[in-house]
Structure 1
Amino acid sequence: MGTLEGHLLPGAGFLLYSFYYSVLTSLALLQEQKALKHPLLPRKLRGHGLFRQVSYEALVKVVVPVFGIIGEYFYPLGVNRVQMIDWKDPRRPFVFKDNWQHVTMFGFFLLSGVVDMVSQTHLERWGVKLQRAAEALAFYVLILLMVTHIENKSSLEIRVHLLLMVPSFLLALVLTVEVWVPNHPPIWVLKSWLGLVLGNWMMQICEMYVPPTGQPWRADDPTDHAFLTIFFCWHLALAAALFITIYGLCSLWHCRYSSWTKTPGARYQRCPMEFNGEELEKLKADALSQNGVVLPETPDVQTGANDRDV
């Protein structure tokens, strides 16, 4: 993953997923939902087999790691890094350490997606807790791998990955809390914000490989180290601003959608206790103007009154 392409795939994946989760959170808050409702794939794509209820979230968790694993092994075209041990060397050394670390990270996120699919279909009772536990495990594994990933790196790369570990660790803690306290709106907001921070920082790492100024970052310059920390703090504020913007746009859509779904004049009217011919004719005219349906002939008013007296 020590390339622009290697950081771009997980960065774009985290960022898009964070946008998706922020939209779900905003709509859930606006509609006062007690639990997040993840949209399911169309029935034609789900089929009627093992996975009858698959959400877009679970599908993304499976598809993105699969592409990441394939890229770690076979990108660029023509290379093959599947080998773990060099059997030709008498010392039997491990090879492609970084790639196997990345494959392990992608593998645990892939496992989280598979757990989502299985739990959404077959474990409706306590499936949400299992999903959050698998997702928290993936982030804990990410942090463990980062500890050894920064070995033999430049001081600038170490600083970048240490700052990346901050939102990753906080996300793992939040997901762990959510295992015991599910469906809690403040946790939804915190997860959305931390996810946006993580995705934005991954894209910042991509910028370091192709700096817009044309001047590469200098690992031996303390000023570059200081500005790297400053940029991370800016990303904290940027993530909050992005979430507020998403919430505002969802609020506008929710207000407009609510106004569209309201039918003018479709309100219940209390039936008067005393009937007379004029009132019945007025009610019939209102019904015809609203529904366009011809009502049956109205029974005799006097007969209805007599029946009511009896």
Structure 2
Amino acid sequence: MGGFQGHLFPGLSIFFYGLYHARLISKALICNRPVQYPPHRPWSQGRWARLRQIHYVGLVKILSSFILVAQELHSVQGQFVLISKIFHQRSFIYDKQWQHLTFYATFFLSGCVDVVSQNVLPQRAPALEQGAQALSMFLILTLMVSHVEDAEGVELYSHILFIQVLFLLLLVGIAELWAPNSLRFWAMKALLYMIAGSWMIQIGFMLFKPISGHKWMDDDKNDILFVTTFFCWHVISLAMLMIWIYGFSFWWYHYFADAQIR
């Protein structure tokens, strides 16, 4: 994505989506029930009953996509068009920005599918939601492959690692279509979403706001080697975070929730 904010905000969105999946998988393991949402229930009576029964995941995706699009358009200098007509020549311009908008459009479409499935249809359609997620991963992966054509050095290696995570997410998303309630796939998806989000944020810091204050050098082999090292640290740290989430959820449901029931 373009600039520091163009990496920060999408990265946060993807990371928190991974945290949400980590909470779902922890609850499914502890409560010994399918990881999918329960079927859509009929509206109950009461003033706020309908709001309590709405699933907000899709709405958050849609809101996030609008915020990301607004941030992208705000960063564009000049008139944002697809084709320029200067000196009687027609050529595509703002290629990166159009890729970014297409990237955000996948969030929007996935959110729309989630809203329809979870809040509109009489019975939830998990296969439809997972199919939309797999399609989104395929589109994002396709965009990222061409996104790094003019990259080199630290930027190239960091984005290659990001593409690897997206490829694994695509494989997991496709496999979920045949095993929608597999806890292994959901755990892998939660971890990969968190890795993708945190690594996108890390790319923003490395390229635009290095924490050390010194710019990463493309011709320095040590800097390029440490890109991979930092990525491995991300994977280890987020795996430990998932274990902590499971431990906290176990304590919450077995002690705090039981105490409230009693």
Task: Give the TM-score normalised by the residue count of structure 1.
Answer: 0.76
Distance 1:262 1:45, change over 3 A: closer
- Give runs of aligned pairs for residues 110-125 of structure 1, distance below 5 A: 110-123=108-121
Distance 1:80 1:74, change over 3 A: farther
Residue-by-residue CA offset, 1:205-243 (whole Å, 9 max, x unaligned): 122121121111001111111110111111111110110
- Give runs of aligned pairs for residues 1-310 of structure 1, distance below 5 A: 1-37=1-37, 54-75=54-75, 79-80=77-78, 82-123=80-121, 127-208=125-206, 209-263=208-262
Output the amino acid matched with 2:22: S
Residue-by-residue CA offset, 1:233-268 (whole Å, 9 max, x unaligned): 1111111011001111111111123431453xxxxx
Output the amino acid matched with 2:70: I
Partner of 1:281: none
SS in 1 for 2:86: coil
Q: How far, CA to CA, are the matches of 2:235 and 2:127 in structure 1?
A: 28
Distance 1:254 1:126, change over 3 A: closer
Structure ranking higher in helix proportion: 2
Are the aligned partners of 1:25 and 1:36 in contact in 2 as well (CA < 8 Å)?
no
The structure whose Rg is larger is 1
Distance 1:58 1:255, change over 3 A: same
Q: How far, CA to CA, are the matches of 1:160 and 1:43 in structure 2?
A: 50
Q: How far, CA to CA, are the matches of 1:45 and 1:62 in structure 2?
A: 23
Alpha-carbon deviation of 1:107? 0.5
Q: How far, CA to CA, are the matches of 2:49 and 2:123 in structure 1?
A: 24
Output the amino acid matched with 1:199: G
Q: How far, CA to CA, are the matches of 1:179 and 1:80 in structure 2?
A: 44
Alpha-carbon deviation of 1:46? 6.3
Alpha-carbon deviation of 1:95? 0.8
Are the aligned partners of 1:53 and 1:117 in contact in 2 as well (CA < 8 Å)?
no
Alpha-carbon deviation of 1:80? 4.8
Distance 1:118 1:87, change over 3 A: same
Partner of 2:43: none
Are the aligned partners of 2:82 and 2:93 in contact in 1 as well (CA < 8 Å)?
yes
Are the aligned partners of 1:53 and 1:120 in contact in 2 as well (CA < 8 Å)?
no
SS in 2 for 1:180: coil
Q: How far, CA to CA, are the matches of 1:43 and 1:152 in structure 2?
A: 56
Output the amino acid matched with 1:228: V
Output the amino acid matched with 2:230: F
Task: Give the TM-score normalised by the residue count of structure 2.
Answer: 0.89
Alpha-carbon deviation of 1:135? 0.8
Residue-by-residue CA offset, 1:277-304 (whole Å, 9 max, x unaligned): xxxxxxxxxxxxxxxxxxxxxxxxxxxx
Output the amino acid matched with 2:64: V
SS in 2 for 1:216: coil
Are the aligned partners of 2:158 and 2:227 in contact in 1 as well (CA < 8 Å)?
yes
Are the aligned partners of 1:197 and 1:236 in contact in 2 as well (CA < 8 Å)?
yes
Are the aligned partners of 2:24 and 2:35 in contact in 1 as well (CA < 8 Å)?
no
Q: How far, CA to CA, are the matches of 1:239 and 1:145 in structure 2?
A: 26
Pairs aligned (count): 256
Q: How far, CA to CA, are the matches of 1:37 and 1:185 in structure 2?
A: 13
Partner of 1:291: none
